[in-house]
Structures are given as structure tokens and as C-alpha cells.
Chain A
Amino acid sequence: MNTISHFGSSVARDANRTLGGGWAAIELLRRTFIASGALDEAGHAGLVAVSRLTPGTNLLAYCVALGWRMHGWRGSLTALGAASVPGSVIVFALTAALVRVDQYSLVRFALAIGILAATVLVLSAAWSLLRPYLTASALASTSVIIALSAALLLAGLTPVRILLLSAAAGAMLGRPLRAPQEEP
């Protein structure tokens, strides 16, 4: 990931090869950049927090923050283009060609398999975020935040309200839930 072109091609590859939304793509990005040593789990968690609190598409915000962290503003712009242009070109082409992608049963089957594969990636993403907090010392505080956010979700609050109320609850707890060397 030393060169910006290598970084951009990695983002373009991982951000544009899953169905079902950005979180499956973010999980692929996490795996790629952690495997290369350019990112660690705590850094990934910090990027997730930023992407969740940024208006608009989470995947694009994640890529912008990742690019900023690795290559400054050039990295942000490269990541933004790499993550958004290929998918947008396909959307444009399908819309302009008036192709009804869902009218063929084989296409519907392939889409369903793609979505189910994305489900596995999203579950993996959730586990990678939760795992560092499931330590004996943090279990009680983590359980409080999980219970609170699940209750707010069931009550029908929007995601951003759930995140802000959870952040307020975390601040009231007053002490970080991770060990100091693992800070996001």
C-alpha cells in the first residue's frame, strides 16, 4: 500500500465487488488493509465511528477517512473516486440502457446469492467490531451499550439518533472500554 496508485486500485477492487450495500465492502477493505499491515483493528474501529457519523454513504466516508489517514488529501480524493466511479458507471449504463436486471430468473438467483454472501460479510464486520470489547473488564459496560442500542433500535429510532445517544451513554460511563494500547 506504499504507492497511491496501489492504494487506489485496492479500494476500487474491494469497494465495487459486493452486493447488498457498503458494509460488506468495508469488511473486504478491512481484511485487505489489515493483511497488508497498513491498518489495525483499532484504527478500523475509529474509521467506522467516523463513517457512521458522517452524512451520506457510509462506505464513501470510510474510504475518504482511510485515504486521509494513509495518504492525506490525495488519498482521500483517490479513495473517493475509486470507491464511487465504477459502481456509478454501471448504474448509469444499466439505467441508460433501460435494462430490467430483475426480469431473468438466473439473474435473480445470482443477485440472491450475492446478497446472502454479503450477509456473511456484514456479520463478520459486526463481529470484528464487537470482539475487542468482549473482555472481562469491559463486558459489563459493553453489555449496557449493546442493550441500550438494541432497545433504541426496537423503539424505531433512526441510526444516527441511536449512535448519538449511545455516544452520550458512553461519555457518561466515563472510561474507555478498550485497553489504552488499543485505542481507535
Chain B
Amino acid sequence: MNPLVVYVLLLKAVATSFAGMGSLPQIHEDFVETRRVLTDEQLSRAVLVGRSTPGPVGAYVVAVGYFAAGWRGAVAGWLAMITPALAAIPLFTLMQRWLHVARVRAAVDAVVIASAVLLLSSAFQLAVDGFRQLLPR
């Protein structure tokens, strides 16, 4: 598969998700079902490798890229993973510029509080995952 196509497809999946594994359904649709360049087992292995290594879970797209197009695909996966993060710069700048407005500050405060609630949910799922791994197979 052309590495440029790998980059575009992975970028589409990553840029339309808001968490590391949020891109998985789109990747499954594009790489397994539509283009058939990955098998379900390869995608599962990519996710497993991503979850078993330190760093962002979203790095599993590097493994997806490798399965689709070798080392060039892995580089395309890495580029697709890092590109959307650059959107944080204009967002951060905008937030700083408008933070003196009371309603904007209140909205940012609410996002921080909601983030904490989402984190509690993530912690619960992680704990379940951790205890499940401890059980014999």
C-alpha cells in the first residue's frame, strides 16, 4: 500500500478522534473492511503492542502502518499520530487570549472538571483491565 495513502487514512482516523483508541473503529473500517490490507488479527496485534508498550496508547497506529506498508508505513503512522497534536498551539493561544472573559473561564473550568470525571471512568476501566490480566487464561 502507498505510504501516502496510509498517512491520509490514519490521519483521518486520528484527527476525528479525541483519545488514543478513539481512532480504532475508523481504522477497522478503512484498513480491514474497505481496503482489506489488514486482517482482524493484525489489527488486534497492533492494538496489543500499543497497549503493552510505554508511551501513548495511540502509538498503535505505528504498528497499523507497518502492517499496511512496511517501515515506510510505520513512519506514515507516526506522522499521522503527531500531526493533529499541533492543533493544540492555536487552541492554547486562543484560550489564553479569551481567558479574561468570565464565561470563557467558566467554560474552561467546566471542561477541566468534566475531564476529571472522564479520568475516573478511565481509571476504573484500567483497574478492570489490570485485574483481568492477572487472572490465569
Are A167 and B18 in contact, CB atoms less than 8 angstroms apart? Answer: no
Are A80 and B85 in contact, CB atoms less than 8 angstroms apart? Answer: yes
Are A184 and B112 in contact, CB atoms less than 8 angstroms apart? Answer: yes
Are B134 and A50 in contact, CB atoms less than 8 angstroms apart? Answer: no
In the complex, what's the smallest C-beta–C-beta distance from A48 to chain B, in angstroms? 6
In the complex, what's the smallest C-beta–C-beta distance from A78 to chain B, in angstroms? 12
Interface of B is mostly: helix
Which B residues touch A100, using CB under 8 A?
A: 45
Instruction: Tally chain A residues at the interface, Cβ within 8 Å.
Output: 94
Instruction: Tally chain B residues at the interface, Cβ within 8 Å.
Output: 75
- Tell yes or no: A116 within 8 A of B by CB: yes
- Tell yes or no: A8 within 8 A of B by CB: no
Are B74 and A52 in contact, CB atoms less than 8 angstroms apart? Answer: no
Are A49 and B54 in contact, CB atoms less than 8 angstroms apart? Answer: no
- Tell yes or no: B49 within 8 A of A by CB: yes
- Tell yes or no: A111 within 8 A of B by CB: yes
Are B114 and A68 in contact, CB atoms less than 8 angstroms apart? Answer: no
In the complex, what's the smallest C-beta–C-beta distance from A146 to chain B, in angstroms? 6
Q: How far is the CA of A78 from the CA of B20 in the complex (A)?
A: 21
- Tell yes or no: A90 within 8 A of B by CB: yes
- Tell yes or no: A69 within 8 A of B by CB: yes
- Tell yes or no: A18 within 8 A of B by CB: yes
Which A residues form the contact surface with B (CB < 8 A)? 15-23, 25, 45-65, 68-69, 73, 76, 80, 83-88, 90-92, 94-96, 100-102, 108-109, 111-113, 115-116, 118-119, 122-123, 125-127, 129-130, 133, 142, 145-146, 148-150, 153, 158-160, 162-163, 166-171, 173-178, 183-184
Which are the 10 A-B pairs with shortest beta-carbon distances?
A87-B55, A170-B110, A56-B84, A112-B133, A166-B114, A60-B85, A115-B130, A57-B58, A126-B119, A149-B114
Can you name 27 A-B residue pairings with CB atoms under 8 Å? A15-B56, A20-B51, A48-B112, A50-B88, A52-B111, A55-B84, A56-B81, A83-B56, A84-B55, A84-B78, A86-B55, A87-B53, A90-B55, A91-B49, A91-B59, A91-B63, A95-B62, A95-B74, A116-B131, A118-B126, A130-B113, A133-B109, A142-B113, A163-B111, A168-B107, A171-B104, A171-B110
